[in-house]
Structures are given as structure tokens and as C-alpha cells.
Amino acid sequence: MGRALFVVGLLVGCGGVGDGNVNRNEQGRLEQGDGVIDTDNSFYDTFEFGTKQGHQITLTMRSTEFNTYLILFDPEQNKVGENDDAAAAGGTNSQIQIRAPSEGQYRVYANSQTSGMTGAYTLNIVAGAPGATPAAPAPGAAPTPPAPPPAGAAVVPAPPGAAAPTAPPAAGAAAATKN
């Protein structure tokens, strides 16, 4: 009995959000072979992070090589934020600021505004209790590699004239579409 409780305790702790604080600086590159959003054939990389309900999330994506676009999905895979050009991020850079509607693992699509755009970018992911200043990443810490695209994310575009379904972040999840 004691051993079963120990195993259950280990499983419950796996994939948790810890204290919900995140401060990551990512470097990536949009290129052929990345995930493709089928409504506009734009490339995207996927990143995930965990946080707690009510924590402030700020995502900032910058590139000097293409027009950035960000999409954020909550733990239930509902699209809860997206941004093209944010004044706070400057120029054609993107930023999303939102209070986490629930606790769990969030998914970010680091995307381009239009089809065919490729190049290097940086993505800063910050989440923490409102009013708290998250700790900086460790000096010299290597960026976390992008998460692989979700199963079934590469979607073949629909025939001309047909409404193309959007590649979902997960089976049966909300679609990502641009305004």
C-alpha cells in the first residue's frame, strides 16, 4: 500500500507547473520543415511552459528577418491570445500580455505573419505572480529547443476554393487563425 501511494505521488508531480514562475529566452528559426498553419501556409515553432491560474504571462517575439506573429493556447488548447505588431515590442515584433485563465501547460506558436517568411527570431516567455519580478535565466544558459509540433500539425492545404481547416494544436483543439 505504501509503495502504491509513493508511485502515485511521483506521477502526480510529473508535468506540474511548480511555482508557476517562468523566465525563458529562446532562440529559433522559422524554416522549411517547421509546422505549417494551413489557413495561410505560414511556418511556426511550438514552445510550452507551465504556470498557475492568475499569473501574468508576457510573450515577446522579435526578428529582424521577418514580420513576427504569436499565438497562445491555454491548457485546454483554447486560443487565448494572438498578436501581430505590438507597439511595446517595436516595429513588426509581437507581444501578448494576459493573465493565465487556468493552471497548466500553455502552448505558444512562434509564427510569421504571412506564408514563406523564414529567419531567426528570439522569444521571451515570462510568467509569474502579478507584481512579481521573475528571476533572470542563468547566465550562459542554453536556450531550450522548440517543442516538436503536435501530432497531426502538418496539414496539407485544401483544394483551391475550399475552406481550409486550421492545423489544431492538439486533437479536437481550437484553431489558430489570423485576423
pLDDT in tens, 18-62: 888 999 999 999 999 999 998 999 999 999 999 999 999 999 999
pLDDT in tens, 51-87: 999 999 999 999 999 999 999 999 999 999 999 887 7
- The single residue listed with the C-alpha cell 542554453 is 142
**Which residue ranges form the domains of the chain, and what is each CATH number?**
17-128 (2.60.120.380)
CA dist 33 and 97 (Å) reads 29
What is the 8-class DSSP label of residue 147? Answer: B
Q: Which residues of 63-91 are buried (b: 16+ CB within 10 A; e: fewer)?
A: beebbbbbbbbbbebebbbbbeebeebee
How confident is the model over 91-113, as a mean pLDDT?
Answer: 95
Contact, 168 vs 55, CB < 8 A? no
At 178, the pLDDT band (50, 70, 90 cuts) reads low
- The single residue listed with the C-alpha cell 528570439 is 122
CA dist 108 and 44 (Å) reads 9
Helix (H, G, I), strand (E, B) or coil at 11: helix
